Chains A and B, each alone.
Chain A
């Protein structure tokens, strides 16, 4: 892995101008299958009251284990899904409930790259057709030259335009997916686990490609990943999600140096280290047990069923997302790695869930 050349983007959501994308108290519920007789019809709380903002040119990492709602959040952000509640704003314009036709002008500003490079390309179409269809929307012309330029920009041989997706390797397919997203000249690209399906050796190449393209075209990314190692070097800020909620949000390096939420600490401990000696010797505090059902999420802090430091208050009151001095936000009653002055300066974050309490965190044992 390597460090990108730039990270010139604002570190904490620029307040002086309108963010590129704002999610406000976003909620996405999916109806769950009802029991056969007299069963109460529940909902899967995929995303439950999440507020995030993305500045121009910024990369927001979105991390969490499978089923935490990060992909649903990503799809709501580009309006592939219509959220149950909350708002999606693009450059200040509310696009939450726009129909497919009204959404069309915004489509060329926001694109998505999917996890499965095989599934995201129509197996019956040649690369020329796949990217050509996206080029129709582009203002920069849809000629053959543009197609060849795009393929070249993503590191593919322009001669391969007439091939079918199955004739490429996984990494190359993902490059085709990136080229398709780039074809419409977007400002925002949501990367939904863009490298999870790739070999480790190919992952770095694709991540570097994405990083270079960001510099070249001034793109903003929402980079979804299920482990913290992938997003470390590309993200300006990282949001950690657990069971539909954002539990921690902080500038990227800060998160690794000083995780505040126990779940983040657990995620950091689960990053594989390719050296058994180092790996065994590091102190680890992994979350216990299984992810609870998102149909009936635990009361209070959603993480309390697996948290080693959970107390009574965690079982009763949902901790609010708390803004600590320095722009670090976390939702925990017993924050780690914070000094008493940090806690003294802590305020309830404007992005905190509406259902969360207003209790100020207390230091462990305090």
Chain B
């Protein structure tokens, strides 16, 4: 029994027709190949690579803060040198003058970027502050992504009243501007600390701003995730898993979740930048990291009153914030372009 195949003559039916049928698939690809392709596109995006490296540089510098403090600046982030006198190129200079003006950048190993009003080394505090800011950013992003994924999956997959309850809670959170909500939560929690059963978080802990930032952003990520799950849930491979009798948990975890990864990957840099900025804003307003602990936000706050006499106190942390978030955002844009299937058309890959 044979079948006439247009063009190529006779195709033997029911024998291995694989060789004949072995045609390439659609131009856009899915599966692991997406990531391989995305990585290749990303490598060719020089702008994304440069700005990504800038961010990595900031991270490395901040991680090396203790090394810098100990071996170069010979001081700690909270050590005050108010009464000390520095010898700069043969001139004697007070770390903090009698009128309260701190020394400016010395461009020497000690007080490289100058001192603050309490006679602390700004460069050291800047790096230690970066550690705090980045740590809060990373942890808050992790909280946001994990909570948003779980809630978005559950809401989108189960639908009905489950979706209704979760989505209405999102609406309530969303109704407040993120900053206002974070300030309200931050202020109330920062003074009293958190005490839920055995979990105790002291009022000064950086875990409080981390939690606040992480939770405030959940709806912003969970909503798009939910939407994507709504679409994926109707796909036939999910029905096929149901026809095999798989549990809901298994369908969510092993059928739907892997299809969300590219969306989640795009959200990570976006959320990281958002979280770092929100941390700075909260700390600046006193609802985030509590002094004397340093973060870019608290540095901005303590430097602001002295802006006229010592502008570097605000310019230095502000510059770090700009470089970090610019680096993350431009890299994130490149990442999104690389993962977007339609980028195939634009870049010619």
Contact = CB atoms under 8 A, between A and B. Distances in A.
B30 A164 contact: yes
Given A134-B244, A155-B17, A201-B5, A169 B239 contact: no
A107 B243 contact: yes
A90 to B, nearest CB: 14
B21 A208 contact: no
Contacts of A134: 244
Given A134-B244, A180-B240, A155 B16 contact: yes
A133 B236 contact: no
A237 to B, nearest CB: 24
A114 B237 CA distance: 9
Given A124-B259, A134-B244, A204 B26 contact: no
B200 interface: no
Contacts of A116: 236
Interface string A106-135: 011011101110011111111000000110
A88 interface: no
Given A155-B14, A157-B18, A167-B25, A120 B258 contact: no
B258 A201 contact: no
A129 B239 CA distance: 16
Contacts of B11: 201, 205
A155 B20 CA distance: 12
A64 interface: no
Contacts of B31: 123-126, 164-166
A169 B11 CA distance: 16
Contact of B30 (A120, A123, A172): A123
Given A80-B243, A171-B21, A201-B5, A122 B14 contact: no
Closest 9 CB pairs of A and B: A123-B30, A164-B31, A107-B245, A124-B258, A120-B236, A104-B245, A114-B236, A122-B237, A119-B236
Interface string B2-45: 01111000010111111001110110011111000000000000
Interface of B: 1, 3-6, 11, 13-18, 21-23, 25-26, 29-33, 235-237, 239-248, 254-255, 258-259, 261
A208 B2 CA distance: 11
Interface string A68-107: 0000000100101000000000000000000010011001
Quick one: which of B1, B25, B243 has the most chain A CB within 10 A? B243
Contacts of B240: 112, 114, 120, 177, 180
A152 to B, nearest CB: 9
Nearest to B14: A208
Nearest to B247: A100
A338 B4 CA distance: 38
Interface in A142-191: 155-157, 160, 164-169, 171-172, 177, 180, 184
A212 interface: yes
A202 interface: yes
Interface string A282-302: 000000000000000000000
Interface of A: 2, 75, 78, 80, 100, 103-104, 107-108, 110-112, 114-116, 119-126, 133-134, 137, 155-157, 160, 164-169, 171-172, 177, 180, 184, 201-202, 204-205, 208-209, 212
A204 B258 contact: no
A172 B21 contact: yes
A137 B245 contact: yes
A2 B30 CA distance: 36
Contact of B237 (A107, A121, A184): A121
Given A123-B259, A124-B259, A166 B244 contact: no
Contacts of A155: 14-18
Contacts of A122: 237, 255, 258-259
Contact of A166 (B13, B29, B243): B29
Contacts of B237: 119-122
Contact of A208 (B13, B239, B255): B13
Contacts of B30: 123-124, 164-166
A119 B237 CA distance: 6
Nearest to A106: B245
B25 A103 contact: no
B239 A80 contact: yes
